[in-house]
Structure 1
Amino acid sequence: MRRSRFSTYSFAWLLSGAALTLAGAPALAQSAPDDVTEEVDSGDAIVVTARKRAETLLDVPIAVSAFNGASIQDKMAQDITDLADFTPGFQIQEAFGRDGDRPVMRGASNILFSEGKVGIFLDGAPYLGDFSSLDLANIERVEVIKGPQSAVFGRGTLSGAINVVLKRPTDEFEGRVSGTIGNFDRRELSAALSGPIIDGIGFQAGVKFFDIDGQWRNTAVPGERLGDQNTRQYTAGLFFDPTADISASVRWLHQEDDDSHFAIGLQRSSANNCFLTTRPYYCGVVQPMDSFGINTDRLVRPGLYRNADRFIGDISWDIAGSGYEASLQAGYSDLTEVNGVDQTYDDRGFYFLPQASCGRPPFFALPNQDCRKSSFEATTGIRRKTQTYEGRLTSPGDDRFRWRLGAFYSEDKQRGMTEYLELNEVGPELLDDTKRVKNTAFFGGIDFDVSSTVTIGAELRHQIDKVYSDTPSYRVGDVFDAAYLATVTRPNPNQIVGVEGTRKATFKATLPRITVNWKPQNDLSFYAQYSQGNSPGGFNKASAPDPTYDEEELINYEIGMKTSKFGFDYLNFAAFWQDYKNQVLTNTYIAGNIVDSYSVNIGRTRIRGIEIDGQLPLVGDILKLQFNYSFLDAEIREGVEAEKALQLMGRSCKTGTAVNLDLPGCREAASIAGNRPPLVSKHTGTLGVRFQHDVGNDWTFFAGSDVIYRSSYYAQVLNLAESGNSTKLNLQFGVHDDQGMRVTVYGKNVLGDETPIGILRYLDFPAPRTPTGDYARAFGITPARKAEFGITVSKSF
């Protein structure tokens, strides 16, 4: 078991002492009371920058769910994954712990990676990499912007964008300290302080420490837990206002994550219950796993280690006080990520080669072969560096005719790290391709007030993506030392692994959005929009069946309404229809005795849906009802899946060992038209109640509950194995005062819903081959988090 950095008892004493000290301390500046209801009552009052200019939620003619600091606290949200439960049309699957985030916005499935479908931004600057550990303790708000955002945010926003807006200091000192303890030895401590240094210069600094023990016992390694999570985050910033017309800032964000191996269990092929005479599969709701065995002791570095430094700098100039503004933003990130995974998802040791014959001539003696090591037990490391630049020129925001122009450039490079290469049963591992992307874009937009109630707008972005994939090679003796090579089969330090080569492609796109907004009353607006989104194509590994995949395109038609009438604090409604072309999902392949995944275009998908969310006072400010709901009707209209042909027709769709869809009837049998895209739930929603009442001496008692529902989703395009319906219950109660003191007792998933949060289609190598001669199908099942309880104490000043 990973040793904790500090004891629970020490943390509890520290937290209690801090709470008592802060409770009695005078406020250093005017405090922002933690009265959540006051801050979340009026949804239209929240100012957002969903179009990279300040607008209220009621005025922006697109679907946006915005969460300010008070709302995030009210939802007990610790990360963006938690906010998905309260955002209609937004789902996230975490099948691999805090690595490989797979957000699904409005039915645009995301199987292998997050980038390309839903973009993440910090103050409008691209945030590349996984976001599930991004701390929300010291932010201004989170804007979840639904529908294609390519015209504004550019690359990687085919179905939506998430903009995390960071806080800025005021001219007074402000701060916040918060601590949490809970079951599974949860310990969390965060602190933030901001204020002026001298006239015209301000600062901001923050820190967060988070640690929780794994919820599952590893039966393969006695004493070890699966699912440990540890995060350290530091933030700092300097803010400059040398004149009334000029402002600038520079920010630094450091994140360090250190997690043990995630919990995942293998539902073996022996559980398959359909197509048993051809290509067996599992049909129906997969079973929750109650035992997990992961061979972490056979990994170089088990679990996830991630270390990232991100910098954002910006400057804006209100040109001579005219209202015309010029701005420039630059971003830089340096990310190192190491991930050790037992890809058997089982306590069995999987080997491609017969163990008894491994290393023996004439067939199973390979150069630099280590028969002690399975190729399924892999640790990989990547180093990723990104730089972005954006310049904008905008006209005054109060003019009847408003415009904005800008340009954007970015370079993104990620490469494999030789430090984590290994020798295994099939010889030296290949080093991952180095991927480079250069993006250049020019964009602009106009808005015109046709009348005092009607505004039309148009936005356009032209972008050029240059994508490179460099296949590297290396000399074995340059990576592995002579003493180790002396212990393997046929040692050869001069062996060259990999064939060097470069592939490149250019993708160009012109992406529009047209909006109409009608605001007949101050508390009521209607909007309509047409927009296009794209995700540029790219390269798979050269060994994949399809070395390349094409650009995805999405066309969105949408209407919506926003209001605070009819007794609602806020009520938002949206209906949309989308045409999704060349949707990219993933499949598996075997090459050189290595199993890997690759991206593939499956065809065309039609998506229709409605979204609604709101807040309704039941008894004034004392009792309120919060709700959101989304309905998604996503249907694949064109597409083929070779595995379906094997299920229906067996060996008659094979030539030798390869699937051949050109054989009679096979292509028709492989059609997946009419199926639902994977990971897409038809119904999702949350129903919550909030209560608060004064109890005297400036103290208020509060309580809340949320029922979070997600209907079943399919694991893959075959629409056979599925998750089942999920219903979670969250509870909280506590007290707060008018000086920023708050104590919350909480429970998450208190009824212990066990619906799996991840299903991975898998090949069960040790099992007998199927009647079609293929490896048997199994399923990797990621369990839901167990019931969690704890107490949080915070003080704002």
Structure 2
Amino acid sequence: MKAPRFLPQALAAAVAAQMAPWAAAAELEEIVVTAQKRSERLTEVPIAITNFGTENIEQTGVRQLKEVAEFVPNLQISSGTDFSSSVSIRGVGANSRNIGFDTRVGVYLDGVYLGQSPALNQELLDLERIEVLRGPQGTLFGKNTVAGAINMISKRPDDTFGGSLGVEYGNYNSRQLSASLNLPLSDNLFGKVSVNSQQRDGLVENLGTGNDLNEQDGDSYRAQLLYDAGGAFTAHLALDGTDTERLSYTGDAVTDTFGSVPETASPEDNTVAMNLDPREEREIRGAALTLNRDFGNGYSVKSITASRDTEIFYANDVDYSELDLAELAYADSYEQVTQEFQLISPESAAMKYVAGLYFYQQEGNSLRQIKSSELGAMLFYTDPNLPVTTDGTVDTDSYAAFLNGSYDLSERWKLGFGFRYSEETKEVDWRIDGRGSGAFGMATASVQDERTDENFSPTVNLNYSFSDDISGYVKYSNGFKSGGFNLDFISQGDVDAGIDFDKETVDSYEIGLKGTLLDRSLGFNLAVFQSDYTDYQVNQFIDLGDGRTSISIRNAAEVETRGLEAEFTYRPTDRLQFNAAFGLLDAEFADYPGGGANGADVSGNKLPGASDYSVNLAASYYHPLPALGAELLARIDYSFRDDYYNTADNEQFRTLATGDTVQYGWVDDIQLINARLGLESEDGSWTAALWGRNLADEDYLTTTSRDFFGTITHFAGTPRTYGIELGYNF
């Protein structure tokens, strides 16, 4: 682009230099993913996948996995306790607060399954990217993933000495320290250590104790060793750990203990009135050894051997009042070992495939108690000397063989195929002692049982390349989630009826189109889908009235989800980039007679947690500042999530005994604005940034809930937070 002719030559040259970046659209960087166990261009992978790379992680300032959901369409991650973290993709997900019930979305670190709910909300420590895959992924990832998978991929050690230091401070006395060191130990051996420590004061005041709840206090680390014998053989050892201890947040009570009258002890927002502080402690340890051997003829083999241990202690004032009535305490632990073998075919062959074997063994242990005080015993007709206790173990052994591949039918047509055969056995040895439960009628029983589920899950897709930059695909995939056992505070009637539940299966159909346009300045990723679930497992509280609850896991006859995801990235210049993502979703119980309160037919009702649509928008701008030897970055993000229900009954309000109504079973729209303004030196040696989240300070709820005694609670979202971040790289 030429500057106006009447300007002096020197000034004209300066103006032209400034205008040059706006003269023509800039080409997007090519995104490479490893979702199919190979390095492939994102535009050629026949999967609905979102790549959340290093640049996005740094620019958005996300610190924990649950925060990523704000930027990915049709992805929701719960923001309550870490004990019961839940991940949902396309409206389908679950938490595993019950050791006999598994999640539906697998979360992985470098291909290793992280385990159950308490292990899911990880610190995003030294990651290269996060890949979010939608739909069944059994032919690609080890554990049963009927709804999708999230794979966090770390930055591996290399042959360059270097490191980084970071410090952050924000409101609510938020502070974070992070450090990373990459150290070449020899010509073939490289090491890396990354650590992070994060603290924040609580956001919710407990008037009963004077303490603040929903605080953050955690430390995490990752240590890696990489041995590279010239590419023919590599060995990668990774150790990671997380320790958190905090006063947790279990919601603001809006009714009394029994859900009969409005709560009056804590009328202000972000306040509760309990005589005990909810608290949780997590300790997570992981180790993984990945071996790669390239035979020189294009074939290679990979072995991933891993172990993970998760322990969590969780306690709550289950009556949600200032009275000393009852306290609930959980002590759960999971120990797991996984082994995966892969045979990877040559890249240049017309038929490419990854064939593998997978083994998963987990021991889940649980000890849970509800203790009544003397006053509680009088009100509940319970025995204070006999706490209601559940105690037991579930051993899981899972074996699988899988294949995922493609065949080039022609220069443009490609046939994809795969299957997974799984056999999963669960053995349970569990007891419940409800002798002291009084009017609540908890069971007293012991259960020793075993169940085995087998499944063959095929997948097939047809991919067509319209050009080097645009491809489309149609895909069918099948998946399954094994059955299990309802190991919770249940009644004698539940025990007599049988506490096991059947496996669920899903048939998923998808049409996708992805690629780039406008000289590769505009990238797009489109997918239309429908998934049909049979024997869908539902874990819910059933209100029995009079403050009594049944914690039920049953199989709904059929669930259907359908919708669309659209993602766009447009880079009109080297300095400016726009991102947009849209998700449309229709998720419902297609057939679920007797699934609601009092046996109501909830067929046709929407799935809990499923929003009809969501929107994510972002704009980022770079501008050089030669006087400072730096570059300015400005980014703003906007996210919108449509309203959604929290229960299968699709309630919105509950009428209390007093005639008052409270919001229950429904959450209104959520709109959030985040922004970041930062500087980075031209040589990348230092960074400084100001950031803010929920800048409009919107008051919003993330869920409404009914606890065991009938208390209705509201979970408030995080208010406006802001801070400053400094970094040094060497």
Give the structure-1-normalised TM-score: 0.78
Q: 1:707 matched to which residue of 2?
A: 638
- Pairing partner for 2:178 from 190, 213, 235: 190
Q: Deviations over 1:694-725 (max 9, x none)?
A: 12143111211111100101011111221111
Distance in 1, matches of 2:707 and 2:271, equals 16
Structure 1: tracts of 5 or more residues without a match: 1-40, 273-279, 351-373, 477-487, 489-496, 647-660, 662-669, 766-776
Q: 2:10 matched to which residue of 1?
A: none
Distance in 2, matches of 1:640 and 1:717, equals 11
Question: Do the aligned partners of residues 599 and 122 (structure 1) sit closer, same or farther apart at CA in structure 2, a change above 3 Å counting?
Answer: same
- 2:457 counterpart of 1:511: yes
Q: Which residue identity does 1:471 align to in structure 2?
A: W
Distance in 2, matches of 1:512 and 1:217, equals 52
Distance in 2, matches of 1:458 and 1:66, equals 23
Question: Do the aligned partners of residues 388 and 421 (structure 1) sit closer, same or farther apart at CA in structure 2, a change above 3 Å counting?
Answer: farther
Would the aligned equivalents of 2:421 and 2:455 in 1 still touch at CA under 8 Å?
Answer: yes
Would the aligned equivalents of 1:288 and 1:781 in 2 still touch at CA under 8 Å?
Answer: no
Question: Do the aligned partners of residues 143 and 537 (structure 1) sit closer, same or farther apart at CA in structure 2, a change above 3 Å counting?
Answer: same
Distance in 2, matches of 1:518 and 1:176, equals 44
SS of the residue 1:510 aligns to: strand
Distance in 2, matches of 1:431 and 1:727, equals 41
Question: Do the aligned partners of residues 396 and 423 (structure 1) sit closer, same or farther apart at CA in structure 2, a change above 3 Å counting?
Answer: same
Would the aligned equivalents of 1:324 and 1:394 in 2 still touch at CA under 8 Å?
Answer: yes
Q: 2:64 matched to which residue of 1?
A: 79
Would the aligned equivalents of 1:116 and 1:536 in 2 still touch at CA under 8 Å?
Answer: no
- 2:574 counterpart of 1:630: no
- 2:411 counterpart of 1:452: yes
Question: Do the aligned partners of residues 596 and 383 (structure 1) sit closer, same or farther apart at CA in structure 2, a change above 3 Å counting?
Answer: farther
Give the aligned CA root-mean-square deviation in angstroms. Answer: 2.9
Q: 1:678 matched to which residue of 2?
A: 608
TM-aligned CA deviation for residue 566 of structure 1: 3.3
Distance in 2, matches of 1:531 and 1:182, equals 46
Q: 1:341 matched to which residue of 2?
A: 316
Question: Do the aligned partners of residues 460 and 379 (structure 1) sit closer, same or farther apart at CA in structure 2, a change above 3 Å counting?
Answer: same
Structure 2: tracts of 5 or more residues without a match: 1-25, 378-382, 437-442, 653-665
Distance in 2, matches of 1:746 and 1:307, equals 30
SS of the residue 1:603 aligns to: strand
- 2:163 counterpart of 1:209: no
Q: 1:407 matched to which residue of 2?
A: 357
Q: 1:785 matched to which residue of 2?
A: 718
- Pairing partner for 2:551 from 597, 602, 608: 597
Q: Which residue identity does 1:328 align to in structure 2?
A: S
Question: Do the aligned partners of residues 401 and 760 (structure 1) sit closer, same or farther apart at CA in structure 2, a change above 3 Å counting?
Answer: same
- 2:52 counterpart of 1:93: no
Distance in 2, matches of 1:718 and 1:529, equals 33
- 2:198 counterpart of 1:252: no
Alignment of 1:742-753 (within 5 A): 742-753=687-698
Stretch deviating more after TM superposition (247-256 or 71-80): 71-80
TM-aligned CA deviation for residue 341 of structure 1: 1.2
Alignment of 1:230-241 (within 5 A): 230-241=217-228
Would the aligned equivalents of 1:384 and 1:414 in 2 still touch at CA under 8 Å?
Answer: yes
Question: Do the aligned partners of residues 514 and 742 (structure 1) sit closer, same or farther apart at CA in structure 2, a change above 3 Å counting?
Answer: same
Question: Do the aligned partners of residues 499 and 723 (structure 1) sit closer, same or farther apart at CA in structure 2, a change above 3 Å counting?
Answer: closer
Q: 1:502 matched to which residue of 2?
A: 448
Please identify which structure carries the higher strand content: 2
Distance in 2, matches of 1:140 and 1:622, equals 22
Distance in 2, matches of 1:191 and 1:466, equals 42
Q: Deviations over 1:319-357 (max 9, x none)?
A: 2x122101111110122110111222343554xxxxxxx
Q: Which residue identity does 1:581 align to in structure 2?
A: T
Q: Which residue identity does 1:560 align to in structure 2?
A: G
TM-aligned CA deviation for residue 501 of structure 1: 3.6
TM-aligned CA deviation for residue 520 of structure 1: 2.5
Alignment of 1:452-491 (within 5 A): 452-472=411-431
Distance in 1, matches of 2:49 and 2:672, equals 24
Would the aligned equivalents of 1:79 and 1:135 in 2 still touch at CA under 8 Å?
Answer: yes
SS of the residue 2:67 aligns to: helix
TM-aligned CA deviation for residue 123 of structure 1: 1.0
Q: Which residue identity does 2:552 align to in structure 1?
A: Y
Distance in 2, matches of 1:187 and 1:133, equals 19
Would the aligned equivalents of 1:47 and 1:56 in 2 still touch at CA under 8 Å?
Answer: yes
TM-aligned CA deviation for residue 596 of structure 1: 6.0
- 2:479 counterpart of 1:533: yes
- 2:169 counterpart of 1:181: yes
Would the aligned equivalents of 2:251 and 2:713 in 1 still touch at CA under 8 Å?
Answer: yes
Question: Do the aligned partners of residues 98 and 541 (structure 1) sit closer, same or farther apart at CA in structure 2, a change above 3 Å counting?
Answer: closer
Distance in 2, matches of 1:627 and 1:705, equals 12
Q: How many residues in Structure 1 have an aligned counterpart in Structure 2?
A: 660
Distance in 2, matches of 1:42 and 1:83, equals 26
TM-aligned CA deviation for residue 796 of structure 1: 3.0
- Pairing partner for 1:732 from 654, 667, 676: 676
SS of the residue 1:621 aligns to: coil
TM-aligned CA deviation for residue 743 of structure 1: 1.0
Question: Do the aligned partners of residues 500 and 110 (structure 1) sit closer, same or farther apart at CA in structure 2, a change above 3 Å counting?
Answer: closer
Q: 2:16 matched to which residue of 1?
A: none
Q: Deviations over 1:17-65 (max 9, x none)?
A: xxxxxxxxxxxxxxxxxxxxxxxx8777222121222212111110111
Question: Taking every aligned residue pair, what percent have the same amino acid on both sides?
Answer: 23
Q: Which residue identity does 2:108 align to in structure 1?
A: F
Q: Which residue identity does 1:315 align to in structure 2?
A: L
Q: Which residue identity does 2:289 align to in structure 1?
A: G
Q: 2:623 matched to which residue of 1?
A: 693
- 2:223 counterpart of 1:227: no
Q: 1:160 matched to which residue of 2?
A: 148
Would the aligned equivalents of 1:112 and 1:586 in 2 still touch at CA under 8 Å?
Answer: no
Distance in 1, matches of 2:701 and 2:486, equals 29
Q: Which residue identity does 1:232 align to in structure 2?
A: D
Distance in 2, matches of 1:54 and 1:46, equals 10
Q: 1:386 matched to which residue of 2?
A: 336
TM-aligned CA deviation for residue 595 of structure 1: 5.2
- 2:275 counterpart of 1:311: no
Structure with the larger RCO, 1 or 2 (CA within 8 Å, 6+ apart): 1
SS of the residue 1:255 aligns to: strand
Question: Do the aligned partners of residues 455 and 72 (structure 1) sit closer, same or farther apart at CA in structure 2, a change above 3 Å counting?
Answer: same
- 2:272 counterpart of 1:293: yes
Distance in 2, matches of 1:724 and 1:244, equals 54
Q: 2:703 matched to which residue of 1?
A: 758
Q: Which residue identity does 2:288 align to in structure 1?
A: I
Would the aligned equivalents of 1:627 and 1:687 in 2 still touch at CA under 8 Å?
Answer: yes
SS of the residue 2:44 aligns to: coil
Would the aligned equivalents of 2:247 and 2:279 in 1 still touch at CA under 8 Å?
Answer: yes
Would the aligned equivalents of 1:109 and 1:678 in 2 still touch at CA under 8 Å?
Answer: no
TM-aligned CA deviation for residue 590 of structure 1: 9.0
- Pairing partner for 2:187 from 185, 199, 203: 199
TM-aligned CA deviation for residue 155 of structure 1: 2.7
Q: Which residue identity does 2:76 align to in structure 1?
A: Q
Alignment of 1:39-58 (within 5 A): 45-58=30-43
Give the structure-2-normalised TM-score: 0.85
Alignment of 1:641-656 (within 5 A): 641=594, 643-644=596-597, 646=598
Would the aligned equivalents of 1:324 and 1:396 in 2 still touch at CA under 8 Å?
Answer: yes
Distance in 1, matches of 2:110 and 2:27, equals 23
